[in-house]
Structure formats: structure tokens, C-alpha cells
């Protein structure tokens, strides 16, 4: 059955790469990363924090309204990105649009702060609950934009943002909305969260404790690495979806796919990532494999995560693989926001018709225009999503 076209009419983000598309693209062109040292338990590791300009944007937003001073950073990130997205799309307060912005961990900083205060004093602060509920993000974005459509929040771990896109597409194609703002936001850079990732033996450590230097802290897509090198980053991204082919479309959603892995344990994924095979095949149902020019992989920088996704791509595409890339070697893993930042990366490559590879991975050469890009995301629980974009 032929599905009605969905247009992406704007996309905006706030991340270690910046807040405007020109700066973000320029940062992608440079073969450098956004990681800084972080000390935890007297050991040096790495995180990817917002750039200085992005910090100023968030700081100004927090000071702009007394109600915003008590909000978690994940909420402020989402508000900042959402304001820019609807401005770029030309939406106004008269437009009725839905909102679905999710997060893997929600109000991480505030939740941990309130819990720590409770353990110390035996009392919970008044705003502990309303500022840490999962629906906090979409609700505050709706308040800030004065929207009148449905508001939805969810957490499907690292595939959260692309699940929001699936949900927006479903609402639009069901005729229940004409416009939807979707995305993900994450501010996970706390000692407790990093410690959890280190407990799983997947977090990057400094090669040289004396200098803290390592050439490439996150070696995502290095299939020969001997240890996992995942690093956490922070940020948010949202995009505006509209039903039909619009004149101002940046790209079109040509295919969507999703699948869930049968787990052996809580964080497992099969050797050939069955969930990714299923999600990619669903997204490519009406597309010749040779038409896919680039795949933006989930590739978090872990040994198993990278190689199993690569194996799944080989199972689907055979030996004639599209160009393969990821952005996590540069900005780290932003959990629930990662999928939408990968989608932004895909759109930028299509707009500039330039493939951005991973500098330490196997070299690849662009031989044709970039017209179709597949984006993958997966999270704990084996929830995979694949989105096919076209110009």
C-alpha cells in the first residue's frame, strides 16, 4: 500500500557541535572530536559537553523566566532546539501540532540531586516530583511554544528519538494531525550515570593516566579495537514533520522500520543483530538496496555493538555495502537524543552532497550523489529503529 509522503520541514539541535547548521557542518568537516577529560574515582575518562555558545543559549533561557530556573538541563535543551525548529519551519502559535520528545533517562541531574538531598535530610523538596517526571520534557516544550496539540513523552532507551519519529509518522498518516514536532533530549553527564556505564565495561578510559591523552577516545566503527570505547555526550534535537510533500522540505521520510530483539540478558544483542536486520528490511521494503547511498550507524563505540550492527548490514546488503559512518566518534553517545542527531547528520550530508566518514575506520570513497540515507538506532532491550530519508 502506498503511504502518504511525510516531509521534514525543519531540524534543529543543541549539542557539542553547536546550535546552528553552518557551525555544526563546519565541525563535521574537521577531523577532531568534542571530548574533554572527566575525573571519576581518581581516574580520568571523557565526556562530550555542550560548546560555549550552546551553554550561553541554555543559560539565557534559564534566566528568561523564573519558572525555568528549576528545570533540568534536558528540558532546557529541548526547549531551545524546539524554538529554533518551529521558527525555521515557519510554524506559528496558530498552527496545531503534536509534540513527542522523549529521553532515555529523563531529568538525570535533577533526579540525582533531589535523591541525594533526600538521603541527607530525610525530606523531599517541593519541586522534586514535577521537575523529574518523564512527561516533563514535552509538557514544558508545549508550555513554551503555547501549542494546543497532543503532548507525548516516552523512554525507549537509545532509540527514543527515532521512536518519537515513528509515532509522529503514525499520527500524521492516521489523519489525527497535520504537523508533529518530534525528537529527543539528554543530559546524562553525572558521575552516577558514567559509573553505570563503566560497570558494564563499555566506557572509554584514558590510555595514559599521566597525560589523559588518547588519539581517538571513542573508536566507533573501528572494528579491530580490542576494548569498548563508548563515551557519553549531551544534547537535544527535534524536527518538524508535515503530511504531504511540502515546498520547503529538507528531506522526505521514505521508509520506516522497527523490531525488537529476543534477549538473552538485559543488554544483549545477537551476533548478527537480528533486530537491525528486521528494522532495515522493513524500512527498505519499497527501495532497491543499490539506491541507498549512506548508512548512519548507531555504532556506539562498544566492541559488540559496532560489530553486530556491521554484521547485520552485511546480512541485508551483502558485499555491496553503502558508505558507512557514525557521529559518535565525534560527539559521543547522547542516549535518547542520539537518533535525531544522526538524522540531522544525514540531512547535512544530503544537503552538501558530501560524505563524512570516520577518520580512523576503513577508508571509503563517495562515487555518486547522496540522495538516500538510512539511519539506525537501537537501545537496551533490543529496540531497533531504521529510518530511510530521501531528497
The pLDDT value given to residue 213: 44
Closest among 244, 222, 237, 201 to 310, alpha carbons compared: 222
Residue-wise pLDDT for 49-66, tens only, equals: 999 999 999 999 999 999
The pLDDT value given to residue 211: 44
The pLDDT value given to residue 43: 80
Q: Spell out the SS3 assignment of the chain.
A: CCCCCEEEEEEEEEECCECCHHHHHHHHHCCCCCEEEEEECCEEEEEECCCHHHHHHHHHHHHCCHHHHHCCHHHHHHHHHHHHHHHHHCCCCCCCCEEEEECCCCCHHHHHHHHHHHHHHCCCCCCCCCCCCCCHHHHHHHHHHCCCCCEECCCECECHHHHHHHHHHHHHHCCCCCEEEEEEEECCCCHHHHHHHHHCCCECCCCCCCCCCCCCCCCCCCCCCCCCCECEECEEEEEEEEECCCCCCCEEEEEEEEEECCCCCCCCCCCCCHHHHHHHHHHCCCCCHHHCCEEECCCCCCHHHHHHHHHHHHHHHCCCCCEEECCHHHHCECHHHHHHHHHHHHHHHHHHCCCCCCCCCCCCCCCCCCCEEEEEEEECCCEEEEEEEEC
Cell (9 digits) for 109: 541531574
Inter-CA distances, 19 with 74, 201, 205, Å: 15, 32, 28
The pLDDT value given to residue 207: 58
Residue-wise pLDDT for 85-141, tens only, equals: 999 999 987 899 999 999 999 999 999 999 999 999 999 999 999 899 888 999 999
Residue 381 Cα to chain centre, angstroms: 17
How many residues does the structure list for the chain?
Answer: 391
Task: Give the HSE-up count for residue 259: Cα atoms under 13 Å, Cβ half-sphere.
Answer: 19
Q: State the pTM of this model.
A: 0.94
**First-to-last C-alpha distance (Å) of the chain:** 21
The pLDDT value given to residue 263: 62
In which residue ranges of the chain is pLDDT below 70? 1-2, 207-214, 263-271
Domains of the chain, earliest start first: 8-243 (3.40.47.10), 253-390 (3.40.47.10)
Task: Give the HSE-up count for residue 37: Cα atoms under 13 Å, Cβ half-sphere.
Answer: 14
Amino acid at each position: 500500500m502506498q503511504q502518504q509522503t511525510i516531509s521534514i520541514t525543519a531540524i534543529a539541535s543543541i549539542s557539542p557541535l553547536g546550535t546552528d547548521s553552518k557551525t555544526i557542518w563546519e565541525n563535521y568537516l574537521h577531523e577532531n572530536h568534542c571530548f574533554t577529560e572527566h575525573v571519576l574515582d581518581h581516574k580520568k575518562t571523557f565526556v562530550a559537553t555542550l560548546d560555549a555558545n550552546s551553554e550561553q543559549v541554555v543559560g539565557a533561557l534559564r534566566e528568561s523566566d523564573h519558572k525555568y530556573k528549576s528545570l533540568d538541563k534536558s528540558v532546557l535543551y529541548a526547549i531551545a532546539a524546539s524554538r529554533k525548529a518551529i521558527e525555521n519551519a515557519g510554524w506559528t502559535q496558530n498552527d496545531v501540532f503534536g509534540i513527542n520528545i522523549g529521553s532515555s533517562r529523563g531529568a538525570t541531574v535533577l533526579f540525582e540531586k533531589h535523591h541525594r538531598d533526600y538521603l541527607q535530610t530525610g525530606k523531599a523538596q517541593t519541586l522534586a516530583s514535577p521537575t523529574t517526571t518523564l512527561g516533563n520534557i514535552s509538557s514544558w516544550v508545549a508550555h513554551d511554544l503555547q501549542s494546543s496539540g497532543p503532548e507525548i513523552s516516552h523512554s525507549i532507551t537509545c532509540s527514543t528519538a527515532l521512536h518519537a519519529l515513528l509515532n509522529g509518522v503514525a499520527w500524521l498518516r492516521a489523519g489525527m494531525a497535520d504537523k508533529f514536532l518530534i525528537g529527543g533530549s539528554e543530559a546524562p553527564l553525572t558521575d552516577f550515570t558514567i559509573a553505570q556505564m563503566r560497570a558494564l565495561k563499555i566506557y572509554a578510559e584514558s590510555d595514559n593516566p599521566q597525560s589523559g591523552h588518547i588519539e581517538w577516545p571513542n573508536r566507533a566503527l573501528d572494528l579491530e579495537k580490542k576494548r569498548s570505547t563508548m563515551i557519553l555526550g549531551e544534547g537535544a534535537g527535534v524536527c518538524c514533520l508535515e503530511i504531504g510533500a511540502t515546498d520547503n522540505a529538507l528531506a522526505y521520510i521514505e521508509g520506516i522500520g522497527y523490531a525488537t530483539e529476543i534477549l538473552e540478558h538485559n543488554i544483549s544483542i545477537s551476533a548478527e543483530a537480528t533486530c537491525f536486520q528486521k528494522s532495515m528490511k522493513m524500512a527498505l521494503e519499497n527501495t532497491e538496496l543499490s539506491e541507498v547511498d549512506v548508512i548512519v550507524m548507531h555504532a556506539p563505540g562498544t566492541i559488540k555493538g559496532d560489530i553486530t550492527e556491521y554484521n547485520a548490514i552485511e546480512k541485508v546488503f551483502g558485499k555491496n555495502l553503502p558508505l558507512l559512518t557514525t557521529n559518535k566518534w565525534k560527539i559521543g553517545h547522547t542516549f535518547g537524543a542520539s537518533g535525531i542527531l544522526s538524522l540531522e547528520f544525514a540531512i547535512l550530508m544530503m544537503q552538501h552532497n558530501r560524505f563524512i566518514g570516520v577518520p580512523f575506520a576503513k577508508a571509503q570513497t563517495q562515487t555518486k550523489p547522496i540522495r538516500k540515507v538510512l539511519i539506525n538506532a537501537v537501545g537496551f532491550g533490543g529496540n531497533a529503529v531504521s529510518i530511510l530519508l530521501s531528497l
